[in-house]
């Protein structure tokens, strides 16, 4: 029913050295020292990455300061993951929410001019219906396509919960701990974008208001089926993750 690893469909190449909190979560699928992009994520602290819980299947490496996946540019930072902190109420069912996790890094990410710690929303800060945010990631260019070389970016309009939870949209599986964006049938997330940020300019500051969680199975950019993000700032989620991280 769900696409587990969301991408940016209908997007364009991001400008180099923008969206500097975006990271590529990479996995050595065959234990050969060759890492492939699996999911996105956001730098929330020099030692912590925020991503989707459903992305957590094994030990990863984190690549920050990345722009072109297939070209070494000198801006990249590679680090391993020391500890995985999955939301305690995550049960593997995307419809039940809590699809969020923190990765504690072995080595801190340092400011080399190509990375940045993201700003997060205020507790329970919400976005109005139709507010334009931006999704970023290295997900598929179309459902049957390939992973893009360069980081992609695309605008998505926020869909308020009262609309997104209607039967012809996502219905009861659109929870208040989620934020929906898109659903125009043109632009969406898709495989490879999961865990990445919903970037919104609020109060003059770019903030990550959500973590890519799910979208429709099959063709990703379906009308009335917006990309769904976990609302990091919803109080139950924020409090539990903060407490877990504080105890590490």
Spot the catalytic one: 54, 87, 161, 209: 54
Rounded CA gap, 162 and 199, in Å?
A: 21
Rounded CA gap, 204 and 20, in Å?
A: 17
Q: Taking the alpha carbons of 33, 196, 83, 43 in that order, is the dihedral positive or negative? A: positive
CA angle, 196 as apex, 83 and 150 as ends, to 5°? 115
Spot the catalytic one: 24, 87, 99, 188: 99
Strands 205-216 and 227-230: antiparallel
For residue 242, indicate whether it is catalytic: no
Spot the catalytic one: 194, 209, 213, 234: 194
Rounded CA gap, 174 and 234, in Å?
A: 14
Cβ–Cβ < 8 Å for 199, 133: yes
Task: List the end-to-end C-alpha distance of the chain, in Å, as a whole number.
Answer: 35
**Tokens standing for 159?**
């869909």
Tokens 């801006």 correspond to what residue? 75
Cβ–Cβ < 8 Å for 227, 189: yes
| DSSP string for 214-238 | EEESSSSS-BT--EEEE-TTSHHHH
The catalytic residues are 54, 99, 194
């Amino acid at each position: 029913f769900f696409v587990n690893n969301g991408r940016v469909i209908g997007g364009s190449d991001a400008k180099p050295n923008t969206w500097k909190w975006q990271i590529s979560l990479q996995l050595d699928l065959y234990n050969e020292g060759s890492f492939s992009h699996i999911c996105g994520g956001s730098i929330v602290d020099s030692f912590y990455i925020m991503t989707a819980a459903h992305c957590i299947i094994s030990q990863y490496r984190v690549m920050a300061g990345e722009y072109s996946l297939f070209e070494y540019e000198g801006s990249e930072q590679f680090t391993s993951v020391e500890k995985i902190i999955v939301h305690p109420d995550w049960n593997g069912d995307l419809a039940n929410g809590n699809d969020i996790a923190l990765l504690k890094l072995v080595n801190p990410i340092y400011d080399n001019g190509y990375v940045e710690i993201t700003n997060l929303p205020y507790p329970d800060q919400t976005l109005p219906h139709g507010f334009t945010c931006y999704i970023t990631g290295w997900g598929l260019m179309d459902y049957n396509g390939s992973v893009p070389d360069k980081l992609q970016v695309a605008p998505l309009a926020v869909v308020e919960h009262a609309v997104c939870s209607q039967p012809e949209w996502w219905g009861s599986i659109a929870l208040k701990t989620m934020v929906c964006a898109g659903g125009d049938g043109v632009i969406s997330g898709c495989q490879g974008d999961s865990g990445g940020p919903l970037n919104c300019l609020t109060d003059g500051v770019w903030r990550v208001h959500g973590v890519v969680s799910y979208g429709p199975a099959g063709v990703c950019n379906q009308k009335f089926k917006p990309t769904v993000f976990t609302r990091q700032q919803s109080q139950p989620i924020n409090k539990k993750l903060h407490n877990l991280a504080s105890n590490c």
